[in-house]
Chain A
């Protein structure tokens, strides 16, 4: 349990650093660390497959692409759009409203009892695969089709239309 609190503290700490870091590249690096703590959370939950997939896909691929684009577009002080005071005040009010809503909803709902998994080894590859490809086959396939259509859409957007003359 102590490990959980330590890791949870680290996750929150790094995610605060993500939004407070001045340099966008530093911000991405903190985001990588945040995702790394998420991986540890998954391992603590005995969800090895999810942990390693989070590790590969988020840390290894998506954030590399984030870093890649950020390195290329060269963000600095000059290119930052000027923020008026009005926007800042609106932001603070909006944030406070969100906080109040969260606290209120927590109070209204109260703490839920801890969820106990019936099968603690559900997160292992074999069990997860069996569940995914038997019980949840349809949602799984639908989501894969969704991803495929997103990919095709991206390709269509990226390729230039042939000139119609």
Chain B
């Protein structure tokens, strides 16, 4: 690898981190604004025009608040919890292809940090690691409610990871590869995987809701039963990190869903556009399309949050084990039969 390549990768990593943090910041704003619109309200509108500076005000508040570490908490793990949560949230973006290869002059820039050939499994691994931040934080707080939140998070994540994995298997049978770059390239123009795997996508999105701890599956932070769930004892930026990691997770899982099922950076008529704009600008339009899809998914996450009430714990487990897993297995069987018949 040449030095210029390393520098380009470094800049790419930096840009992706910056984008995911900015999107997480503005997701908090969007969440409040969208919640307001769904409830016939106005939402935050005092900081800057239309309240556009609200995330900055919130961030400043978070940084300036007093840090509290409970006396009987294990201090190292108490700090490690939120750090781990935000770290695992951020590293998921490494394998997502953000666009086609960009050609500027003689340079070819790959808009993907690492094209590893087990990309889907990498995402899966990062997701399964995400629960440690919640568990360690909840346990280290030395608080019953936090511990209960942590335990709920652990059991929920493990249960839904299984059906998530099974729903991906059906997708992998269609694509025949684990590399996200190749999966994205296969969906050229309008051949999106959603057309071949509608049931798989439905299962995947339900599991994505559960994995990111979003309503209707936000039992780990269920206010009515557990005060604040695993982050009951957290204050200032450590709490901020937990909230941030939730939004970054939402962003990454939206990106994964867009890439796996909704064509990634592909859109109908992309060849024509690419031929007319040249290899330096054309791929960027694809990137814009990908981000449009991501924003739609983030909006959908919020839309569902302000529509559906929270599940009860036994309902959550019933749904995960008795409905989603059998459906996912049926989906695999059906996909297998169809593939064999076509061949």
Contact B151 A60 (CB under 8 A): no
Residue from A29, A48, A64 in contact with B131 in the complex, judged by beta carbons closer than 8 Å: A64
Quick one: which of B153-208 are within 8 Å of A by CB?
154-155, 157-158, 161, 178
Interface residue? A71 (CB, 8 A): yes
Can you name the residue of chain A whose Cβ is closest to the Cβ of B178? A125
Contacts of B121 on A, CB cut-off 8 Å?
Answer: 49, 52-53, 56
Interface residue? B319 (CB, 8 A): no
Contact B136 A59 (CB under 8 A): no
Contact A55 B131 (CB under 8 A): no
Interface residue? A10 (CB, 8 A): no
Interface residue? B234 (CB, 8 A): no
A128 to B155, CA, bound (A): 31
Known contacts A71-B151, A125-B178; A64 and B124 CB within 8 A of each other: no
Interface residue? B258 (CB, 8 A): no
Contacts of B124 on A, CB cut-off 8 Å?
Answer: 56, 60
Interface residue? A67 (CB, 8 A): yes
Can you name the residue of chain B whose Cβ is closest to the Cβ of A51? B118
**What total count of A-B pairs have CB within 8 Å?**
62
Contacts of A55 on B, CB cut-off 8 Å?
Answer: 125, 128-129
Known contacts A48-B116, A52-B121, A71-B147; A60 and B154 CB within 8 A of each other: no
Contact A64 B135 (CB under 8 A): yes
A68 to B117, CA, bound (A): 32
Interface residue? A61 (CB, 8 A): yes
Quick one: which of A123-143 are within 8 Å of B by CB?
124-126
Contact B154 A61 (CB under 8 A): no
Contact A68 B155 (CB under 8 A): yes
Interface residue? B297 (CB, 8 A): no
Q: From DSSP, what is the main secondary structure of chain B's interface residues?
A: helix
Known contacts A52-B122, A64-B158; A29 and B136 CB within 8 A of each other: yes
Can you name the residue of chain B whose Cβ is closest to the Cβ of A60? B128
Residue from A59, A61, A72 in contact with B158 in the complex, judged by beta carbons closer than 8 Å: A61
Interface residue? B132 (CB, 8 A): yes
Contacts of B135 on A, CB cut-off 8 Å?
Answer: 64, 67-68, 71
Residue from B118, B128, B147, B161 in contact with A59 in the complex, judged by beta carbons closer than 8 Å: B128
Contact B136 A64 (CB under 8 A): no
Quick one: which of A63-84 are within 8 Å of B by CB?
64-65, 67-68, 71-72
Interface size class of B (residues with CB under 8 A): 20 to 34
Least CB distance from A154 to B in Å reads 14
Interface residue? B150 (CB, 8 A): yes
Contact A71 B158 (CB under 8 A): no
Interface residue? A8 (CB, 8 A): no
Interface residue? A25 (CB, 8 A): yes
Quick one: which of A9-60 are within 8 Å of B by CB?
25, 29, 32, 48-49, 52-53, 55-56, 59-60
Interface residue? B265 (CB, 8 A): no
**What are the interface flags for A94-106 relative to B under an 8 Å C-beta threshold, 1 for contact and 0 otherwise?**
0000000000000
Known contacts A59-B128, A64-B132; A71 and B118 CB within 8 A of each other: no
A71 to B116, CA, bound (A): 35
Can you name the residue of chain A whose Cβ is closest to the Cβ of B155? A68
Least CB distance from A158 to B in Å reads 13
A49 to B119, CA, bound (A): 10
A61 to B124, CA, bound (A): 11
Residue from A48, A53, A59, A72 in contact with B129 in the complex, judged by beta carbons closer than 8 Å: A59
**What are the interface flags for B104-119 relative to A under an 8 Å C-beta threshold, 1 for contact and 0 otherwise?**
0000000000001110
Contact B158 A52 (CB under 8 A): no
A124 to B121, CA, bound (A): 13
Residue from B116, B128, B154 in contact with A67 in the complex, judged by beta carbons closer than 8 Å: B154
Contact A60 B125 (CB under 8 A): yes
Contacts of A71 on B, CB cut-off 8 Å?
Answer: 135, 139, 147, 150-151
Least CB distance from A75 to B in Å reads 12
Contact B139 A25 (CB under 8 A): yes
A to B CB contacts below 8 Å, 20 in the list: A25-B139, A29-B136, A52-B125, A56-B125, A59-B125, A60-B124, A60-B125, A64-B128, A65-B154, A67-B132, A67-B139, A67-B154, A68-B135, A68-B151, A68-B155, A71-B150, A71-B151, A124-B117, A125-B117, A126-B117
- 10 shortest A-B CB distances, which residue pairs? A60-B128, A55-B125, A52-B121, A56-B125, A68-B154, A52-B118, A48-B118, A64-B154, A71-B139, A56-B128
9 additional contacts (CB under 8 A) given A29-B77, A52-B118, A67-B154? A55-B125, A56-B128, A60-B127, A60-B129, A60-B161, A64-B131, A67-B132, A67-B139, A71-B147
Q: Which residues of A are in contact with B by a Cβ distance under 8 Å?
A: 25, 29, 32, 48-49, 52-53, 55-56, 59-61, 64-65, 67-68, 71-72, 124-126
